[in-house]
Amino acid sequence: MLFVEFRFFWFFLAVFCVYWSLRDNRSRKIWLLLCSYVFYAAWNWKFLFLLMGSSALDYFVGLMLARTKNPGARRGWLILSLCVNLGTIAFFKYYNFFVSSAAVFLAWLGLPASLHTLNIIIPVGVSFYTFHSMSYTIDVYRGKMRAVTSILDVACFIGFFPQMVAGPIVRAAQFLPQLQSLRKFSNADVRGALVLFLVGFVKKACIADGVAPTVDKYFDSPANYTAASAWLAILFYGIQIYCDFSGYTDMAIACARLLGYELTLNFNFPYLARNVAEFWHRWHISLSSWLRDYLYIPVGGNRGNRWFVARNIMITMLLGGLWHGGAWTFVIWGGLHGLALVVHREWQRRVEGRAPSRPLPGVPGSPDATEDVPPRRGPFGWLAWSLTFYWVCFTWIFFRAADLERAGVIAKSFVFWQSPGTHDLGFRMIWIVVLLGVIHQLNGRRVFSSWWRRGSPEVFAAGYGCAFAVVLLFIPPHYAPFIYFQF
Amino acid sequence: MSVQFLKKLGYGVIALAAFIATSGVIHSLLPPMIPKGIAAKLKFFAEHKDEFDTVIVGTSRLYYSISPELFDQTTRDNGLPTRTFNFGIDGMHPPENFYVLEQILKTKPRKLKWVVLEMGDIQTKWDNILGTQRAVYWHDWPRTALTLKKAFNPRGNANWFIKLTRLWLARRDFISNLALFGKQFANVGRAADFLPSADRERFADAASELGPHGDGYRMAGDAMSPERAAQFEQRLAQEMSEARPKFLDPATEDGYRNSAAQTRQAGAAPFFVVAPVIFQQLPRFRRSPDPAPLVSFNDARKFPQFYDTRVRIDDGHLTNEGAAEFTRLLAQEFARRMRQP
């Protein structure tokens, strides 16, 4: 069930009406959990047991961590939780990747081995809900939060349907307190949530799905197309992935807000970034802050000499790339971003003569969430923005390409403007990129942020209905699944 | 219920009303969305509407079978000269054919005298084309209501308990047909129809869809393989053993009666035909009088020449040789029936 499907509207209407008509918090949570499981089962009911198992295990581990004082035993419980959660991801997402890579490596060593891959279906959202789940046990282990005694709360947190399958990756410490207090409809920002939902719907259904056929056409056979087409397709992919993922996030945040819950910020105009560190403070913030807190800092973070910090950044970004899927293209994508972060740190230290900024953000809303070194402004700011945007687009090649061979062909077209192909995608469509760029820029300056709050509720309601009717004119007949569902 | 709750409900109603009103206004301003294949034929017919007095509307069973040239020659030889256009479309089952006929009649062809409409049961499942423009464009309320009626009460004899059971058993049909109606009414994706590329794509294969003579007819393929022929004969024997007259379901009957009335209103006479398909059930109207003459060729005992595997491509289609024979017989029967006062 996708947020842009008709059936989701009916589903959410039922969830919303029943939820607010229930008086006590426990009944509401039971209802939410039931609906979340129905939502998840709409894809594949069999994997529901995996989700339930993950929730039950981490609830139990949380309780054991709270009861046990012995550091060794506590570490043991945490390791159990991490092994099961990471083992689940490793099996479903990486088994075939590891096996095929091992076979290639052994063949390279002159030891050909016949290793069998499995026909594995990846459970939707497995990378997201296991990260939710792990944040709970790790935070309890670290003493950042107390273990929750109600399994209903833990199951609701891990399975909450707006954020379960594609994030944002919510921290237990942020979300569980919200679950434990009765939400009031009068406190819910209904108008803001509805506008956010519409914005997300437009991003996903109109823009991302609108440019997707052009992108698919190019990336399927890049060697057939001209270099201008390569540029267009890569720029379109930049638009597609941003609108697809941030559109999903907007709708997820809006749905949660309509039920009285606040989810974490996930995107903050990433394409306005003027350096790659700023990009990571604006792109998929919930993942980058998760990686920072649970991977980058534990492996050393900013402590130690600059080679050690560079190593930490590379480890984090390579694993962050791998998190997206079992393919070398994702590893390279992460590696390229890691490399850019290291180079940026050295640039700040040597050329700008200042302390390097943090490569990854803290949890949104926390004091260390924002970039501590303000990016450049003025003409150099434009140059910095252009270079950053170019680099981000270059890395998208590896993120999207089906294999390394095709990624090489596309990169050559993009960087050297060389392609053997003669087919043209229609470079005239570049106006779409320009138009959306202008909107992104204006929106980044909060031009559209509040005028819709001014009218009376009746006028807003009528305007909203009209706007939705107009928006539907612009959506393609086919819904494409969200890109991040595969991760 | 608190006043605040009623207020919020009121805002929801306002938003819904605004949505419906805006969609309705846009819907009335936009031209009908006609997909590829049908668009080419409709455009051609609209441009040449006064050249034809007979139009044949149906599925591929008529599209690849009825040659207007041969049909007109036979009717002329039988004392009823015609000038025919074949409006057969692949997979155009009821109620899509009712919608297309309505669009044909809306072009107001001044010389139109006869409409030959293929008979078949209303379809309720569109799984194989779900999400395409082809599934959406004809789902206006009259046609959607027919599919829902068929899904709800397929035999016309359901009591409330059976209807409730049907509501559950056919829930996928209800949901998919209502969603398609919603898409049609809410003009989903219609902006794309106005891109220059949309028109290019829509009329890309117009010449081949209109056939070599520009009369809407396309030649059929070769006869079935011996293995398939054996299966066909086995299945035909089974069908013949179960052959009996079959009353149309109420929704289908309503659809055909309505189309017949629309045809008459446009100044033409309807004529219903069942192509020589493998199914041996001869359709009958429940209520009398019949809305139009009905000729069923799906009778292997009466028309054995159409069930010889050498003239069949598959269960529903005839080779060129079989199609020519079918055209001649249909034209003779048509001329005989239509000459009668």
Active-site residue among A324, A344, A423, A478?
A: A324
Residues of A in contact with B14 (CB under 8 A): 458, 461-462, 465
**Sequence ranges of the domains in chain B:** 1-30, 35-339
User: What is the distance between the alpha carbons of residues B201 and A121, in angstroms, rounded to a whole number?
Assistant: 36
**Percent of chain B at pLDDT exceeding 70:** 99
Nearest residue, CB atoms, B22 vs list A186, A470, A474: A470
The SS3 of residue B312 is: strand
Per-residue tokens: A417: 């403007």
Q: Residue B7: what pLDDT?
A: 83
- Sole residue written with tokens 């979340």: A36
Q: What number is the average pLDDT over the span A288-299?
A: 90
pLDDT digits (tens, 9 = 90+) for A49-102: 988 999 999 999 999 998 888 889 999 999 999 999 988 888 888 777 777 777
Residue A460 confidence (pLDDT) above 60: yes
- Could you tell me if B208 lies within 8 Å of chain A, comparing CB atoms? no
The SS3 of residue A316 is: helix
**Contact residues for A153 (Cβ-Cβ < 8 A; gap 6+):** A29, A176, A179, A180
Smallest CA-to-CA distance from B272 within B242, B296, B288, B249 is with B296
Q: What number is the average pLDDT over the span A96-115?
A: 76
Residue B205 confidence (pLDDT) above 80: no
Residue type, B276: P
- Could you tell me if A7 lies within 8 Å of chain B, comparing CB atoms? yes
A373 — pLDDT class (breaks 50, 70, 90): low
* Distance, C-alpha A178 to centroid of its chain: 22
Could you tell me how many CB contacts below 8 A there are between chain A and chain B? 76
B92 — pLDDT class (breaks 50, 70, 90): very high
Q: What number is the average pLDDT over the span B121-143?
A: 85
Residue A477 confidence (pLDDT) above 80: no
User: What is the distance between the alpha carbons of residues A239 and A268, in angstroms, rounded to a whole number?
Assistant: 14
Other CB atoms within a 10 A radius of the CB of residue A38 amount to: 16
Annotate A60-106 with DSSP letters as a single string.
HHHHHHHH---HHHHHHHHHHHHHHHHHHHIIIIIHHHHHHHHHHHH
Residue B1 confidence (pLDDT) above 60: no
Residue A236 confidence (pLDDT) above 90: yes
CA distances (Å), origin A295, targets A353, A357, A469, B83, B193: 28, 18, 45, 79, 50
Task: Identify whether A440 is a catalytic site residue.
Answer: no
**Contact residues for B23 (Cβ-Cβ < 8 A; gap 6+):** A469, A472, B185, B186, B187
A487 — pLDDT class (breaks 50, 70, 90): low
- Could you tell me if B9 lies within 8 Å of chain A, comparing CB atoms? no
Nearest residue, CB atoms, B18 vs list A6, A465, A473: A465
Q: What number is the average pLDDT over the span B245-271?
A: 93
Residue B158 confidence (pLDDT) above 80: no
Is ipTM beyond 0.90?
no
Residue A372 confidence (pLDDT) above 70: no
Phi, psi of A50 (to 5 degrees): -65, -45
B213 — pLDDT class (breaks 50, 70, 90): confident
Residues of B in contact with A477 (CB under 8 A): 131-133, 136, 183, 188-189, 192
- Could you tell me if B81 lies within 8 Å of chain A, comparing CB atoms? no
User: From B178, which residue of chain A is nearest by alpha-carbon distance?
Assistant: A6
Of A266-275, A368-377, B127-136, B304-313, minimum mean pLDDT range: A368-377
pLDDT digits (tens, 9 = 90+) for A375-401: 666 667 888 889 999 999 999 999 999
**Contact residues for A393 (Cβ-Cβ < 8 A; gap 6+):** A234, A235, A238, A414
Q: What number is the average pLDDT over the span B184-205?
A: 81
Q: What number is the average pLDDT over the span A236-256?
A: 94
Torsion of the alpha carbons at A420, A425, A430 and A432, rounded to the nearest 10 = -150
Residue B338 confidence (pLDDT) above 70: yes
User: What is the distance between the alpha carbons of residues A131 and B48, in angstroms, rounded to a whole number?
Assistant: 65
Per-residue tokens: A60: 């139990």
Beta-strand (E) ranges in B46-146?
Answer: 54-58, 84-88, 114-118
Residues of B in contact with A470 (CB under 8 A): 22, 26
Strands B269-274 and B294-296, bridge-based pairing: parallel
Residue A250 confidence (pLDDT) above 60: yes
Per-residue tokens: A87: 């083992």
B64 — pLDDT class (breaks 50, 70, 90): very high
Per-residue tokens: A367: 């004091």
Of A166-170, A198-202, A366-370, minimum mean pLDDT range: A366-370
User: What is the distance between the alpha carbons of residues B324 and A412, in angstroms, rounded to a whole number?
Assistant: 59
Cβ distance B274 to B306 under 8 Å? no
Q: Residue A58: what pLDDT?
A: 92
Arithmetic mean of pLDDT over chain B: 89
Nearest residue, CB atoms, A6 vs list B15, B26, B182: B182
Annotate A128-177 with DSSP letters as a single string.
HHHHHHHHHHHHHHHTSSPPPS-HHHHHHHHH-HHHHTT-----HHHHHH
**Sequence ranges of the domains in chain A:** 18-182, 191-472
Residue A214 confidence (pLDDT) above 70: yes
Q: What number is the average pLDDT over the span B30-55?
A: 90
Q: What number is the average pLDDT over the span B145-166?
A: 82
Q: Which residue has the higher pLDDT, A479 or A433?
A: A433
Q: Residue A102: what pLDDT?
A: 78
Arithmetic mean of pLDDT over chain A: 86
Q: Residue A256: what pLDDT?
A: 94
Rg (CA), chain B: 22
